[in-house]
Amino acid sequence: MKTVEYESNYFIRGSEAPVDNLRPGLQRQILGYNRDLMLVKVFFGPETVGQRPPMHTHHHSQSSYIVSGKFEFHCGNHEVVVLGSGDSYYVEPDMPHEVYCLEPGIIIDSFNPVREDFLSNA
pLDDT in tens, the chain (122 residues): 445 677 888 889 989 999 999 999 999 999 999 999 999 999 999 999 988 888 999 999 999 999 999 999 998 888 899 999 999 999 999 999 999 999 999 999 999 999 888 887 65
d(CA 19, CA 94): 27
The per-residue DSSP string of 2-35 comes to PPPPSB--S---TTTS--EEEETTEEEEEEEEET
**Within a domain: 71:** yes
**Within a domain: 44:** yes
| Alpha helix segments (H runs only) across the chain | 116-120
**Within a domain: 7:** no
d(CA 88, CA 107): 9
pLDDT of residue 3: 53
pLDDT of residue 59: 95
**Within a domain: 3:** no
pLDDT of residue 4: 61
**Within a domain: 2:** no
Of 63, 60, 80, whose CA–CA distance to 72 is shortest? 80
pLDDT of residue 1: 41
Domain with residue 75: its CATH number is 2.60.120.10
Domain residues for the domain of 52 are 21-120
**Within a domain: 111:** yes
- Structural domains in the chain (count): 1
Q: What is the pLDDT of residues 18-45, one digit of tens each?
A: 999 999 999 999 999 999 999 999 999 9
Percentages (nearest 5) of helix, strand, coil residues in the chain:
5, 50, 45
Q: What's the number of CA atoms in the CB half-sphere (13 Å) around residue 117?
A: 5
